[in-house]
């Protein structure tokens, strides 16, 4: 009888060892609901992608709305230069001598060089709540005699801030003012899901919600300012 009990016990030990890892794995089986909840914040977070960089003069600042109106240079076609290009091309076609050909080529080059002029256009931009604001130069400080104070290396390091990778020096949105020359970095939301159907042209009946969906999509994908670099302050008023 004792021999039988020992024999059963001897067989039970390996069986427990074999069943142990399986049972442990079953207890540690991942909870899909728990993992889903853990990943939920990452999925809900809005993904932003870089949309470009603009350099221009500040036309206005709306601090309560966190918006700025920026005057940016844009190329404009010169109508007079277009006529000059056409006339120069006609002169080249009619040229019968080397001198006439050279003269026509020079006229064409001058017309092409002035084909575009620089104009300006105002754009209104929304500044993100967590936008980074920097200034290319540290703010000037004056001593008791009214002279510009020379900053030490330690003071410059303090003004630069804890992140050495950021360009320039620390600033705030309140430091942005009219007539400054600034550079803004633009971002927009990464497209997710299918785009709404285009709104039918005038004269065709649009389905309910199409116009609203298109307007919401446009508003959601407008570029927003993620970083402002103050390049130059306006000259002091005389």
As a whole number, mean pLDDT of residues 72-77 equals 89
User: Token pair 């500040």 is at which residue?
Assistant: 58
pLDDT exceeds 90 at position 54: yes
pLDDT digits (tens, 9 = 90+) for 95-145: 999 999 999 999 999 989 888 888 899 999 999 999 999 999 988 777 777
User: Token pair 């060089």 is at which residue?
Assistant: 113
Higher pLDDT residue, 29 or 47? 47
Provide the pLDDT for residue 216: 52
Higher pLDDT residue, 77 or 200? 77
Residue 140 three-state SS: coil
Q: Which domains does the chain have, with CATH numbers?
A: 46-75+120-190+222-238 (2.40.50.320), 79-114 (no CATH)
Q: Phi/psi class of residue 172: alpha, beta or left (left: φ > 0; alpha: ψ in -120 to 50)? A: beta
Contacts of residue 115, Cβ cutoff 8 Å, sequence gap at least 6: 77, 78, 81, 82, 85
As a whole number, mean pLDDT of residues 26-30 equals 51
Provide the pLDDT for residue 143: 77
**Rounded Cα distance, 14 and 20, in Å:** 10
Q: 60 has which bridge partners?
A: 69
Percent pLDDT > 90 in the chain is: 42
User: For residue 25, what are the CA distances in angstroms to 20, 36, 99, 167, 194?
Assistant: 9, 20, 92, 51, 41
pLDDT exceeds 70 at position 59: yes
Q: What is the DSSP secondary structure assignment for residue 148, as one 8-state letter?
A: B
Provide the pLDDT for residue 200: 56
Instruction: Calculate the average pLDDT of the chain.
Output: 77
Confirm if 157 and 170 have CB atoms less than 8 A apart. no
At 6, list the tokens.
């020992």
Higher pLDDT residue, 197 or 42? 197
pLDDT digits (tens, 9 = 90+) for 142-168: 777 778 888 888 988 999 999 989 999
Q: Global pTM?
A: 0.61
CA angle 141, 144, 148 (to 5 degrees): 35
Separation of first and last alpha carbons in the chain: 114
pLDDT digits (tens, 9 = 90+) for 200-219: 555 555 555 555 554 455 55
**Rounded Cα distance, 166 and 162, in Å:** 9
Provide the pLDDT for residue 46: 65
């Amino acid at each position: 009888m004792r021999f039988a009990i020992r024999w059963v016990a001897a067989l039970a030990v390996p069986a427990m060892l074999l069943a142990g890892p399986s049972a442990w794995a079953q207890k540690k089986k991942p909870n899909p609901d728990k993992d889903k909840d853990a990943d939920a914040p990452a999925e809900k977070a809005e993904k932003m992608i870089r949309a470009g960089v603009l350099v221009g003069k500040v036309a206005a600042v709306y601090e309560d709305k966190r918006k700025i109106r920026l005057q940016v240079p844009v190329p404009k076609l010169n109508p007079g230069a277009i006529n000059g290009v056409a006339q120069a091309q006609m002169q080249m076609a009619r040229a019968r001598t080397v001198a006439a050909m050279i003269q026509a080529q020079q006229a064409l080059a001058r017309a092409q060089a002035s084909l575009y002029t620089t104009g300006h256009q105002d754009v209104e931009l929304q500044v993100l709540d967590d936008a980074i604001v920097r200034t290319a130069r540290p703010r000037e400080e004056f001593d008791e005699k009214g002279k510009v104070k020379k900053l030490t290396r330690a003071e410059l390091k303090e003004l630069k801030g804890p992140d050495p990778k950021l360009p320039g020096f620390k600033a705030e949105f309140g430091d942005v003012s009219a007539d400054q020359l600034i550079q803004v970095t633009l971002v927009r939301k990464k497209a997710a899901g299918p785009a709404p159907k285009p709104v039918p042209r005038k004269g065709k009946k649009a389905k309910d919600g199409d116009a609203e969906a298109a307007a919401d999509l446009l508003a959601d994908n407008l570029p927003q300012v993620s970083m402002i670099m103050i390049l130059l302050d306006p000259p002091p008023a005389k």
